[in-house]
Each structure stands twice: as structure tokens, then as C-alpha cells.
Chains A and B, each alone.
Chain A
Amino acid sequence: MKRLALQAGCIAITLFMAVPLYLIALAAFSSRESLNRFPLPLLPTDFSTETIQGFLGSTGVVPAAINSVMVGLSTVILALLIGVPAGYALARYAFRGKQPYQLFLLLTRALPIVVLSVPLARIFLASGLYDTTYAVTLLHTALALPTTVLITSAVFVAVSPEQEEAAQIFGASPLTAFVRVVMPQALPGIAAAAVFTFVMSWNEVLGASILTLNQRTLPAQVLATLSFSPLAYRFAGGFALVVPALVFIAIMRKYLLNMWGTTLR
């Protein structure tokens, strides 16, 4: 009985999450005429790849996709390198300025980027990094740091300090203790931060638009124009943009679900 109720609940939520995805895919692969009909077809009766092909063939889509992947992966690596130690510090130590530091991190995320856009563009123009993927990586890392630091700190808190101390008593250096004892247990948190970072970077439009001209990322190249394009293109674009992020999540899923129900102590 309980099993049935459980499954029912899961299925209900799955339907809520999945149906809109199905609709994007459906609309992306429909012919343009079928999208003008009413009532809209709910089954793939008018299967057609013309809009997707048109979309993929438009200027700069493939290079932009490559740029986006590069930026996304670099951002994840950089954000983790800078953010994980900071998250650890927040979890383990109580130091002066801890709360101001947390608020400072959030402050930067709380201001809409549009208002910062002109000074930001000028910083990158002055440093010669304008119109490179490095610029976008740096910006995206800065945008991802608050999430990374805060999530990893929440997860580090859950890992008991005693284990680390025990490892150090047995001769490990603090760094080794961290890498071999703490990190594996904190992996779900780190994986979560990595997923958010990649997805955020992949979908980020405004920052990438103002920092690049000819080396654009996919959203900067395409997403911004979606609202001006015909309905069919909007769905094709929306769908094409989802796929790589889906792949990334599929890969990271394993780490998120690490250690389901294992006893930790």
C-alpha cells in the first residue's frame, strides 16, 4: 500500500516535470504549419526536422556551441578550484568577518547584471580580454562562486571533523586528510555545485552578449533573438539549447546520488 502511494506520488511529479519537456520536443520537431493550427496536436503527427535543421544551419551555431562547451567546462573547473577551499573554510572555521564575507558573496549575485554591464565591459576592454572565451569564463566563474561556496560549505558541515583529525593523528597532512577523507563524502555537494555552475554558464545570455562580439557563446548568439523569431524557431532553438546541459547532468548524476543510504559513521 505504501509502495503504491509512493509510486503514485513519484509519477505525478514526474508527469509535471516531463510533460513540458515533451511539448518542447514535440514543437521543435513539428512542421511550421502544424503549430498554427488550433487545437494544437498533442501527438507527433506532423514530424518534421525542417526547423531544427534550419536552426542548426544558421550562422555560427556550431562554433557558438563549441565556445559554450569550452566556457562551461572551464568555468566549472575554475569555480571549483576557487570555491571548494572557501566552502571548506566556511564550514570548519569560525573566523572574524565570516558573516560579512557570506553577505559580500551574495551581494554580487543580488544585483542584476544589466546594471553592471557597461563597467564590466570596460574592464574587459581595458584588459584586452574582450571578445575572448576567457572573459566569459571569468565572468561566469564570478557568477558561480556564491553558489559553489555556499553549497559546498553546507555539505562540508555534515562531514564530521573527527574523521579528519583521526587521519591527521595517523600521520596524514591536512591536505591529504582533506582529499582522502572529506572530499569523497562531500562529493554530492561538489557535484551539485558543478551541475549548477555548468548549467548557469551554459544558459547565461546577457553577460556573454556584452563581453563578446565574434567569439560568442550559443545563448549570446541565439537565445537573445529567439523572442523575435517565428514560433517554430523558438522551439527548435529552445530544444537544441537543452541537449548539452542534459548530457552534463546525466554524467554528473552518478556523483549526486553517490552513497544512497550508506551508513556514514
Chain B
Amino acid sequence: MSPARRPILLIAPSLVFMTALFAWPLIVAIGQAFTGPGGPTTAHLERMIDDPYFWPAARNTALLIVVLIPVQFALALTMALLLRERPKFAGFYFYVWVVPLAISDLAAGLVWLAVFTDRGYLNSIFHTDYAYLSHEHPTTMFLAVIVAELWRATSLVFVIIVAGLQGVPKDYDEAAEVFGAGYVKRLRHVILPQLRPSLQVALILRTILALETFAVAQALTGRNLPLLVGETYQWYGFLQNPNVASAIALVILAVSLLAAFGYLRLMREAHR
């Protein structure tokens, strides 16, 4: 086995596996978006764009990503750095902070619905009657989804960063400290650069998953806050139109790829 062939052999099983399973469904899905009874057509795309829910869904999805991802990363980084200082009960904290990972998004939606609903826990604690999730209050509706998603999905980023932090040698950090660098300086110049590969992976994965999951948003707001993936399900299931569903799915795919490509480019350094 020559060293040149080695990488190909190592990735071969994964390539074969994914191709065997996904290649044909992928082609079928792409095909469905562009074929009609008379051959290739853009009719489905036009239908998708004309739909009153499409642009709000696209806007909401974009807004969700732009607000959620930075906040999640900030929170996850804070959590990882807090634990890095090895406070007492670190083990216990770590376990509790990872637990939301185990919760399915359906269950997470249920819990936060119970918190935010009209006669839910939030209103119970403050003895108020505010309709957080009503379509009349779009801001609180959106914020509720952000909070619920923050709770549910930050653990993913947190675990990746923690795993990545393991590889950051304490020597550099301690050396920098000895030479008088403050915490923020150490963070920016020693720790974060070493975390780059993990952060990159976490960003890509989290963005793609954020574009995908909508169960929590749907549990909380129904179709009052339309999202792209929710529309995919709606067109596929209720409206029995797999063509438009595929078209929307391709939009999601395109955005995900763009984001992934962007991240890979942005974070490409001398490291790799």
C-alpha cells in the first residue's frame, strides 16, 4: 500500500457507503424538482416562489440562523472555557450541560411549549397572562424559538469545542501567562487559533442542522413562523406535491452548501 494511495483507501468505505445509499435518492429528488408531466420544467420552482409562505419562510430561516448561531457559539465557548478552569463539581456541570443533547427535538418542543404556552410554566410563575406564542406577538414568538433552540442545540457545539480543547496544550497558554498576557489576549492568540479546526467543524455542522431542524419551532408556533424545512414537509405531506417539496429542499441544500463552502474558505489557514 503506497503512501499516495493510502488516503483514497481510507475514505473509500465511506464513499461507497454514502453513494450506495444516497446517490439514487438524491438524483430522484433533484429530478422531481425539475420534471413535470411534459418533461423538464421550471414550473415547480415558479410555484414555490409564488407561494405566500415561501418568502416569509426563507426570511425567518435566515433570521434564525443569523441570530442563533453566533449566540450559540458564544455560549458554548463560554461554557467550555468555564469548565477549562476546572471549578469544583466540574464533572456534574459537564454532565448536565451535555444532557440536552439526548433530548429529541420533539420532546424539546414539548417542554418549551409547556413553558411558553398561555397557561404554561412561565405564566404560572409570574401569574401573568401574556400570550408569548401568539401570532400577534411576533417578537416574543421568535425569541421563544431562539431560547428553545439555544437550550436544545448548544450542547452539540459545546461537546465539539470541549473535544477540541483537549488538544490545546496547556504549555503555550501557561507560557503566555508567564509573559504577562491577559486572559482576553491569551484567548485570541493562543486558544482560539488552536480551536480553529473544531470551530470550523462545529460551525458547518451546526449551520446545516439549523437549516434542517424545525420540530421545536413547529411545536411552539405551528405555521405562524414558517420555516423552509417546515414548508418542505407541508408540501410533501399535506399538499401531496413532492415536486415543490423537492424544489424547496434544493434551496435548503444550496444554502447549506454555500454556507459550508464559505466557512471552509474563511477558515482556511496555514494549518491545513
Contact = CB atoms under 8 A, between A and B. Distances in A.
Please say whether the chains A and B touch (CB closer than 8 A). yes
A256 B123 CA distance: 38
B257 interface: yes
Contacts of B156: 196
Contact of A6 (B8, B29, B82, B237): B82
A20 B204 contact: no
A27 B147 CA distance: 20
Interface in A85-116: 85-86, 88-90, 92-95, 99, 101-112, 114-116
A238 B256 contact: no
Interface residues of A, number: 105
A92 to B, nearest CB: 8
**Main SS at interface, chain A:** helix
Nearest to B14: A86
Interface stretch (B38-46, B52-60, B100-108): B100-108
A29 to B, nearest CB: 14
Interface stretch (B61-69, B133-141, B158-166): B158-166
Given A94-B272, A110-B252, A155-B163, A263 B232 contact: no
A257 B257 CA distance: 32
B162 A256 contact: yes
A16 interface: yes
B245 to A, nearest CB: 6
A191 interface: yes
A42 interface: yes
B102 A111 contact: no
B237 to A, nearest CB: 8
B14 A189 contact: no
Interface string B148-171: 000100011001101110111111
A142 B26 contact: no
Contacts of A212: none
A257 B21 CA distance: 34
A195 B159 contact: yes
Given A16-B151, A89-B6, A123 B21 contact: yes
B182 interface: no
A150 to B, nearest CB: 5
Contact of B120 (A40, A189, A235): A40
A13 interface: yes
B99 A17 contact: yes
Contact size range, B: 35 or more
B121 interface: yes
A151 interface: yes
Interface stretch (A48-56, A57-65, A246-254): A246-254
B241 to A, nearest CB: 11
A120 B93 CA distance: 41
24 contacts: A9-B82, A10-B89, A14-B96, A21-B100, A23-B115, A24-B111, A40-B119, A42-B125, A86-B10, A106-B260, A107-B26, A110-B252, A111-B250, A112-B249, A115-B249, A138-B21, A157-B167, A158-B164, A196-B159, A202-B104, A226-B106, A241-B104, A259-B166, A261-B170
Interface of A: 3, 6-7, 9-10, 13-14, 16-18, 20-21, 23-24, 27, 38-40, 42, 81-83, 85-86, 88-90, 92-95, 99, 101-112, 114-116, 118-120, 123, 138-139, 141-142, 145-147, 149-151, 153-155, 157-159, 185, 188-189, 191-192, 195-196, 199, 202-203, 205, 219, 223, 226-227, 231, 234-235, 237-239, 241-242, 245-246, 248-250, 253, 256-261, 263-265
Give the 8 A-B residue pairs with the shortest CB-CB distance, closest first. Answer: A158-B167, A245-B102, A238-B107, A39-B124, A203-B104, A110-B256, A89-B10, A119-B25
Given A39-B127, A109-B212, 16 more contacts: A9-B78, A9-B82, A42-B121, A86-B11, A89-B6, A93-B7, A104-B15, A106-B204, A106-B256, A108-B22, A119-B29, A185-B167, A188-B166, A189-B163, A196-B101, A241-B104
